[in-house]
Amino acid sequence: MNPADLPRDAVATTAEGLLDAVRAVARGPLAEVAEAIDRQGHYPREVLQQLGALGAMSAHLDAPAGRGDYGLALRAMAEVSRVCGATGFMVWCHAVCGLYMQASGNPALGGDALMAHATGRTLGGTAMSNPMKSYAQIESLLLKAVPVDGGYRVSGSLPWVSNLGPDHACGALAGVVDERGDVVREVMFLLRCDAPGVELRDCPSFAGMEGTGTWALRLKDHFIGADEIMADPAKPFIARIRGAFVMLQCGMALGVTQGAIDTMWAVEDQLGHVNQFLDERPAELQAELDALEARVMKLAQTPFDPSPAFFIEVLDARAHGAELSLRAAQSALLHQGARGYLMSSEVQRRVRESHFVAIVTPAIKHLRKEIARLSAEVLPA
């Protein structure tokens, strides 16, 4: 079955129907190219567009672009990540770009543009790693916007922005500078990769997940106007969407962990007699994963809860997901033994994917630092 051939309504009438269709894509065409994505830099455009056509990358968006169901979006992302963490990550990139477009309320980014994005006809990502770290007081803003007639001219460089290509777009943020060069506020905008003043530059090789369409972005006097602007000023907008942004990443962590547990069970019949002596067994890890998934699903019911207590919960669930994926992948390697040490082994890929879940923004250390910052009692300066 090729889900892309089915009419969208036929597979997407129920949440379970959508998840079945996503599983079919993940275990079929995606599984075939997972190794090439990880090692050879194959960018799975067709798979992403199939997932988009199913509605798997837009389930969180409000109708008509999606179903307003964050839990479903997370579960779909987890099904993809269970087979290929790199593609799960790109589903997240695309999903949050859709979130920015819809939440912006900008008519130029809604309507047809949003529908094209929601259905995967156009693809996009997010250049928000640097701004998110900037808000958490971890680094400073790398893009600067100078006000000009009708908009801004944006310059600067961003390292390592994913799910990009020459015909892609991404949500980005720049510091608006005054005449003295001081940042006075921020502006968030849709950055189209084919626009004048935008250059995609190659990145060095990564340890894995090479096919994620990851580029360095260089902007030189790139003009953004009313049609591109998502939020100006951007801070209240970021405060509104930050919970949903981080929460959606949990789908990646849940899926990569599940994939690692799957590979432990795969050798249980032959190796269970020795694997029983290992520290973390698949049933224990599964119980912890199920509890975490239940926690995330509960958070997914109120993705826009503005309270700091809720955001801390989201940050900690995301951190738990990263920690659990590391433990599960490590354990999967120990369970598989020598066969898991083959370069071609799926377990090797799981280990690299789990490392990625742990270090991609927000990394475990960022999450903990932000939890500590938000937990501190606010007193006069």
Partner 1 sequence: MNTDAPYQQYICDACGYIYDEAEGDPDGGLAAGTRYADIPDDWACPLCGVTKADFRLYRAPSREELMARSGAAPTAVVRRGGPAGVVIVGAGRAGWSMAQALRERDAALPITLVTRCAGDVYDKPLLSVAVARRLDDGALVRESGAAAAARLGVRLMARTEAVRICPDTRSLRTTRGTLRYDRLVLAHGAQACLPPALPAELCWRVNHLDAYRRLRAALGDVPRDVLIVGAGLIGCELANDLALGGHRITLLDQASHPLGRWPQQQAADPLLAAWQDLNIRFVGGAQVQQLERAGGALRLTTACGQRFAADQVIAAAGLATPPRLAQGAGLAWHNGIAVDAATLRTSDPHIHALGDCIAIDGQPSRYIEPIARQAQAIAAAVCGTAPAPYQPRAAVVRVKTTSCPLTLH
Q: Return residues touching partner 1 (CB under 8 A).
A: 130, 139-140, 142, 156-160, 201-204, 216-218, 287-288, 291, 309, 312-313, 316, 319-320, 323, 368-369, 371-372, 375-381
The least distance separating partner 1 from the CB of residue 206, rounded to whole angstroms, comes to 11
SS3 274: helix
| Other beta carbons within 10 Å of 15 | 15
Tokens 């799926």 locate to 346
The least distance separating partner 1 from the CB of residue 219, rounded to whole angstroms, comes to 11
The least distance separating partner 1 from the CB of residue 256, rounded to whole angstroms, comes to 18
Q: How far apart are CA 168 and CA 59, in angstroms?
A: 20
Please say whether the beta carbons of 214 and 208 come within 8 A.
no
Region of 356 (left: φ > 0; alpha: ψ -120 to 50; beta: rest) is alpha
Closest CA to 308 of 248, 371, 367: 371
Q: By C-beta, is 49 or 286 nearer to partner 1?
A: 286
The least distance separating partner 1 from the CB of residue 62, rounded to whole angstroms, comes to 29
The least distance separating partner 1 from the CB of residue 201, rounded to whole angstroms, comes to 5
The least distance separating partner 1 from the CB of residue 41, rounded to whole angstroms, comes to 17
Amino acid at 362: P
The least distance separating partner 1 from the CB of residue 40, rounded to whole angstroms, comes to 21
| Pairing of β 169-177 and β 144-148 | parallel
DSSP output for 43-94: --HHHHHHHHHHTTTSTTSPTTTS-S-HHHHHHHHHHHHHH-HHHHHHHHHH
Q: What is the dihedral of CA 33, 34, 35, 41, to 10 degrees?
A: 80
The least distance separating partner 1 from the CB of residue 66, rounded to whole angstroms, comes to 30
Q: By C-beta, is 108 or 312 nearer to partner 1?
A: 312
Q: By C-beta, is 83 or 322 nearer to partner 1?
A: 322
Q: By C-beta, is 248 or 314 nearer to partner 1?
A: 314
Q: How far apart are CA 148 and CA 142, in angstroms?
A: 19
Amino acid at 330: Q
- Angle, nearest 10°, between helix axes 85-104 and 346-359? 30
Q: By C-beta, is 301 or 375 nearer to partner 1?
A: 375
SS3 195: coil
Q: By C-beta, is 294 or 338 nearer to partner 1?
A: 294
Q: How far apart are CA 122 and CA 107, in angstroms?
A: 17
Q: By C-beta, is 13 or 375 nearer to partner 1?
A: 375
Q: By C-beta, is 168 or 320 nearer to partner 1?
A: 320
